[in-house]
Amino acid sequence: MIEFKRSELTSFAVHYVGNKGNGEEVSFSKEQFKFKEEFVKETLLNFFLTPFKTDIYYHFAKSDAIKIHDVHSFVAETFDDQKSFFENSKKIAQKLYDQSNHPKIKGGEFYVAYLRDCVVDGELCDAIGIFKSENKETYLKVYQHMDEFEIETENGININKLDKGCLIFNTEKENGYKISIVDNSHRIAEAALYWLEDFLNVKMREDNFYHTQQLLDTCKGFCEEVLSPENNVEKTDKMMMMNRSLNYFKERDKFNQTDFEQEVMIQPELVEAFKDYKTQYNSDRQLTDVEDFDISQTAVKKNAKFLKSVIKLDKNFHVYVHGRHDYIKKGFDDEKGLNFYTLYYSKEE
């Protein structure tokens, strides 16, 4: 949990980072930004900090910060010596510019902020914020002069939608700090990773969210790849397994491998098949096999839509299966030459 009730913005810098691959430039401010109005400062703080609400954390990937000039080393130097803030803000902007080569990456204003007294998971610490605005929107400005009105348009930044941002908290330094990420402009697949990997060089922190996420991904993969028509498994059986898996995570605070197998997989042959799949899944992705952890409901909610039990019938019908799989039967109509499902129910709502 992240709180900013006591947070104070003590240093702030604004630069412009264009797309290097498209021949655009990077522009640096001559000095730190000085706020003329407290309202503007508070508005910016709200714009930057409001999106950071979840318990999804990252950390800097391991590197030799002494030899490699990366965001990690610039942040560490700033935490150690706040007088280096402005020079390091320019170095961080340059680092982003050097990684902005994909033609679909948009240029935009780039902000670096030093924040005092943030609270992350109950711990009071300072933080460095790195933000970028990539999208502009058109706004109407209406003026009244006596009995007449004038309307003008102006392009600006929507203060209710931060495009990209990260908060690096000055805690867990030895593990690459605790970092929270926002990226609302990652829909272009081929350009999506430049913020996380090329620029920040961060990895998801191996905590309860991470372990829950990996297990949910494993369950989804098992249902799709193993419980498939190619293996003579009916779609309703696959739906039943997905429902049981999701309900297990929704209804419990802790994950236990043995309990999960007994309550979700049930049948010995399914238990063995899941164990084999999980072992191969972890090996392919170089994941550590964790059999006990606290379940993150943030991860469960984030993945629930991907585990929905939906049977799609051509382009005509979607059947949502929430339970009682014995109330749905599949058949084939020889006369019409079509498959069909029969649904049983007590009452219509």
| CA quadruple 80, 84, 88, 89: dihedral sign | positive
Task: State the chain's mean pLDDT as an integer.
Answer: 88
Indicate if the pLDDT at residue 266 is higher than 90. no
**Confidence band, pLDDT 50/70/90 cuts, at residue 347:** confident
Indicate if the pLDDT at residue 299 is higher than 70. yes
One-letter amino acid at 135 equals: N
* Unique residue bearing structure tokens 């610039």: 74
Taking the C-alpha atoms of residue 196 and residue 202, their distance in angstroms, rounded to an integer, is 6
* Mean pLDDT value of segment 53-66: 80
Structure tokens of 312?
A: 């799609």
Q: Say which residue, 274 or 332, is predicted with more confidence.
A: 274
How many angstroms separate the Cα of 295 from the Cα of each of 61, 115, 138, 243?
24, 31, 43, 17
CB 269, CB 226: distance < 8 Å? no
Which residues of the chain form beta strands (DSSP E)? 2-3, 8-17, 26-27, 58-60, 108-120, 123-133, 137-145, 148-156, 164-169, 178-183, 202-204, 254-256, 292-294, 310-313, 317-320, 328-333, 338-343
Strands 178-183 and 164-169: antiparallel
Smallest CA-to-CA distance from 289 within 206, 172, 204 is with 206
Taking the C-alpha atoms of residue 9 and residue 45, their distance in angstroms, rounded to an integer, is 8
pLDDT in the model for residue 237: 77
**Confidence band, pLDDT 50/70/90 cuts, at residue 130:** very high
Which positions ≥6 away from 104 have C-beta within 8 Å?
188, 190, 191
Q: Residue 89: which H helix or E strand, with range? A: helix 85-99
Stated pTM of the model? 0.79
Indicate if the pLDDT at residue 67 is higher than 70. no
Give the total residue count for the chain. 349
Q: Say which residue, 8 or 333, is predicted with more confidence.
A: 8
pLDDT in the model for residue 1: 83
